[in-house]
Structure 1
């Protein structure tokens, strides 16, 4: 079975395309949104989802979230006795989603369409594919998140010639894509974005301001206190959408401190981030050679897009309010389901061709010799320019700098800087050359081929001999080799994961632990009393009685948390 998956920074979702269209599948807790968080028990057992997210407050050293931002890097996170790469953490989230979907559907899931930020580079896309493999999935397609959002809105069914812009502000990334529909083709004209701009950055900004007002240094906060503050600030950020003023309390050095934040101050604090939102929008419009009045529709998706400051910026820049009738948290997942239905050739879907663009310029490092014979190394030579329609194949020719040079080092980069020092290195290919007195007799043709999944192939041909060399980007420390994937697959398979039928109880206990850590005085004692009673009920192993107590306990915690928001 083929599913659609939104592998998000903050939350992840899974669904299928059925007779009634795209349909999301709830997890073991009955929720569509599974937090992209991992926690490890002292005995090495893994938790995924809501329970793991709540443990960020109570067990920050054994819990982690927002690891999507590290995809494509060699960064490792120590949880308990084991270190995890970002691909492995993402694979654990994917495995949890798939287990929930299989339990719900009663069918084995082997294939998936997974969404990625449009501005993800080569290493990040390869890392996402590796995460799918580690989760036991064949990744049929990586679909760019703005394109998925357009499918969720059904824009592929609009009149031919319609042009629209999709703005996707998630927990960790911001993507902009401009698309056009014509003659059964959904074509992306331009993409831009920022892989380190999202709701998490607005939250960090609030933490910095709160600590400044309390005359504290954020880096000096103990991990449990930092996690508590972030949890409370996240709740306050959501409340700001509907209120003009919010407040949080925290106990620091034995004293209870209060911090208040109004909408006007939040907007002033957020202004630098808002300005960063402008740049990708302006670049995409410029690359597509469009004016705002030439856009037929504006889509705003992603959970962080709910902030009023974002909608106001978009309205000011583009001259009208965006469409928002699809849940911004669910739009990308629903679109991934539609893409899965298209891949499976569902009869209910009209045949449509989806084209995309290469989000970055791709090229090689060269040296240039000026009129005085001086050589300047580290110059970037583009081969595929950004926003070329994919699949695309382009070739350029190069020659050695010296006579009788027998080795040519071809360093591949992505980026928009004229100097490779400011771009991202993807890998290196060493090409053996026959000795030639004239460098012009040793021409090398370098061909870049970039496919719809964002995979780059590099082929170099020595024209004098016909010898071919293909680049496999193994030198990129952010990309796992197939051998490493097989090894880590065995390691992940050996991990203990809490049984699905225990998730409701585990999530409730983790939530109570978090609220206990965030509370003081009589409230804290009350949470502790409820928790002790619930654990005692679990020990009796009476399923019907546990279900009743779980419902009552959950309702009590709901009421307590609602009182925090008042």
Structure 2
């Protein structure tokens, strides 16, 4: 069996790791960086770019560049490019395919299995969407693990002493906080809370809007009408945010930004840390409630925390660190890399799923991981009430059954509405599925006994089954949702991904072949020029004819439509030219 890789599929950046000799190592991306931008772009020539290459061209190709797609996982969001609709799962799969390729290049062997991390507050549909993205990318997703739990697993491998740890995970698009107990080789999640729409993207947007307002005040020009200018401003906003983690001010200089009334305008502004903190103060304050909630659910006071771990790039912001100090009374630990620890934890779990034993530091015991479900699971009952079957922060995996009955006399079927959330009324929670149980024995209302079982696996993904206790008839129910991809859609996406992979390889081969062909023609032309007077007429004519034939084939070759047959024809023409040019 090959290696199981660990993937942190992030909103802004993604990271991949693998366990080597019991220690997780980060696999560098194609550009040599330890993280890969979660960005996908389609060029007008039909080429698909992923990662750093996609991010670099975003300013010149904003309408065909997709980023922060993680925020759309498990929703009906899609984008249409060149007549094709792409769902969030498909775009995420393209990022995963790049990480898979990077891992294969690093290991020198095929990679087919992975552990993928998700925000702790992802619901059932979002988790399933992430698993679907992995399938599309050609990965067997062995486990879905919560990001804070994964970070704690990475930390716990080297810090086995008993302690309660808070993981404060603020990334590009999501915020999670988990209270985790580490002790005697066991890593147990006590409680988790969070906000799936809070992160660095929101900070970037606040800076972007501030820059747009200032520019309009100073120049009278509305940048929001200029797509390319807005992309440059967004990139500058993100860069300024990073600079302000180390400096008190950032100088934003964007020459030739836009044209207004025939005049070319430039942006030249100074943005201070104080201005930045004022802009995002309310966003940082939004992290307080989940922290209080998680501590309350875990039944501990901040003073009982042994460590506070900061995870996610956004925790580098000084105002965020100050907020964590205020909330916990603790100095945040700097023992882990906030960008890499989540992927490393996933790689550790992947190694254990391969059958390897990992021993916690300071103990002789193998690590045992106990995670929790982030949200309560309910079904709708009479009066629109959400009747809970599984409470939030229940340890995974878990299974719970409850007996229900009919509300109307001689009812032959019941509609079961499955919900996820904490509100008392069904309408206020997230619908994650509906199904109909048929074939119930006709009887007065309240007489049939229908046992409904909720079964949550280690990935936090829910399966539901129902049984009529009177007849013994049992039926397993697969919950489907409008937000999920059907099996047919997944299979089509897998086929499309394979086609794309083939096209990408063909384009890469074509670029190499065309480069070799250009060099061969240039060298041959130079030799013809040098030996012009020494060559007989027949040789000169043959070489020139071969050069012209190869040149015509290369001119006809378009990277966006190149085929294997075209490449074969060019290679044959190169072979003929090399043969005829031997006499030069």
Q: Same fold (TM over 0.5)?
A: yes
Structure 2 match to 1:473: 479
Contact 2:167 2:178 in 1 (8 A): yes
Q: Which of 240, 259, 264 matches 1:236?
A: 240
CA deviations on 1:154-192 (whole Å, 9 max, x unpaired) are: 3574223x1111111111111111111234321101011
> How far 1:243 sits from its partner (Å)?
1.4
Question: Residues 30-69 of structure 1 correspond to what in structure 2 (within 5 A)?
Answer: 30-69=32-71
SS of the aligned residue for 1:92 comes to helix
Q: 1:52 to 1:322 in 2, by over 3 A?
A: same
Larger RCO: Structure 1 or Structure 2 (Cα < 8 Å, ≥ 6 residues apart)? 1
> How far 1:219 sits from its partner (Å)?
9.0
Give me the TM-score of the superposition, normalised by structure 2. Answer: 0.81
- Structure 1 residue 158 and structure 2 residue 160: aligned? yes
The RMSD of aligned alpha carbons is 2.6
Structure 2 match to 1:330: 340
SS of the aligned residue for 2:190 comes to strand
Contact 2:160 2:184 in 1 (8 A): no
Contact 1:441 1:464 in 2 (8 A): no
> How far 1:466 sits from its partner (Å)?
2.0
Q: Distance in 2 between matches of 1:540 and 1:204?
A: 47
SS of the aligned residue for 1:390 comes to coil
CA deviations on 1:405-464 (whole Å, 9 max, x unpaired) are: 222110111111112222111111112254645312123221111111111011122222
Q: 1:221 to 1:278 in 2, by over 3 A?
A: farther
Q: Distance in 1 between matches of 2:20 and 2:447?
A: 60
Q: Distance in 2 between matches of 1:72 and 1:405?
A: 34
Give me the TM-score of the superposition, normalised by structure 1. Answer: 0.84
> How far 1:26 sits from its partner (Å)?
1.3
Contact 2:223 2:229 in 1 (8 A): no
Tell which deviates more after alignment, 253-262 or 86-95. 253-262
Q: Distance in 2 between matches of 1:539 and 1:170?
A: 46
> How far 1:330 sits from its partner (Å)?
0.9
Q: Distance in 2 between matches of 1:410 and 1:219?
A: 50
Structure 1 match to 2:571: none
Contact 1:156 1:186 in 2 (8 A): no
Q: Distance in 1 between matches of 2:346 and 2:61?
A: 34
Q: Which of 272, 291, 295 matches 2:282?
A: 272
Q: Distance in 1 between matches of 2:443 and 2:357?
A: 63
Question: Residues 82-93 of structure 1 correspond to what in structure 2 (within 5 A)?
Answer: 82-93=84-95
Q: Distance in 1 between matches of 2:464 and 2:243?
A: 50
CA deviations on 1:122-151 (whole Å, 9 max, x unpaired) are: 111111111111111111111111111112
Contact 1:176 1:191 in 2 (8 A): yes
CA deviations on 1:367-406 (whole Å, 9 max, x unpaired) are: 23xxxxxxxxx22111111111111111222222222222
Tell which deviates more after alignment, 346-355 or 191-200. 346-355
Q: 1:240 to 1:44 in 2, by over 3 A?
A: same
SS of the aligned residue for 2:59 comes to helix
Q: Distance in 1 between matches of 2:336 and 2:343?
A: 11
Question: How many equivalent residue pairs?
Answer: 502
Q: 1:64 to 1:480 in 2, by over 3 A?
A: same
- Structure 1 residue 446 and structure 2 residue 452: aligned? yes
CA deviations on 1:226-273 (whole Å, 9 max, x unpaired) are: 111000111111111111122324434232233332112211111110
What residue ranges of structure 2 are gaps of 5+ in the alignment?
360-364, 522-584
Question: Residues 50-449 of structure 1 correspond to what in structure 2 (within 5 A)?
Answer: 50-154=52-156, 157-160=159-162, 162-215=163-216, 220-250=224-254, 251-252=257-258, 253=260, 254-347=264-357, 349=359, 351-368=366-383, 378-432=384-438, 434=440, 436=442, 438-449=444-455
> How far 1:46 sits from its partner (Å)?
1.2
Contact 1:156 1:352 in 2 (8 A): no
Q: Which of 494, 508, 521 matches 1:489?
A: 494
What residue ranges of structure 1 are gaps of 5+ in the alignment?
369-377, 507-534, 543-566
> How far 1:20 sits from its partner (Å)?
6.1
Query: Which one has a bigger Cα radius of gyration?
Result: 2
> How far 1:110 sits from its partner (Å)?
1.2
Q: Distance in 2 between matches of 1:101 and 1:500?
A: 21
CA deviations on 1:339-364 (whole Å, 9 max, x unpaired) are: 11222233554522111111011111
Q: 1:214 to 1:24 in 2, by over 3 A?
A: same
Q: Distance in 2 between matches of 1:124 and 1:36?
A: 17
Q: Distance in 1 between matches of 2:491 and 2:519?
A: 42
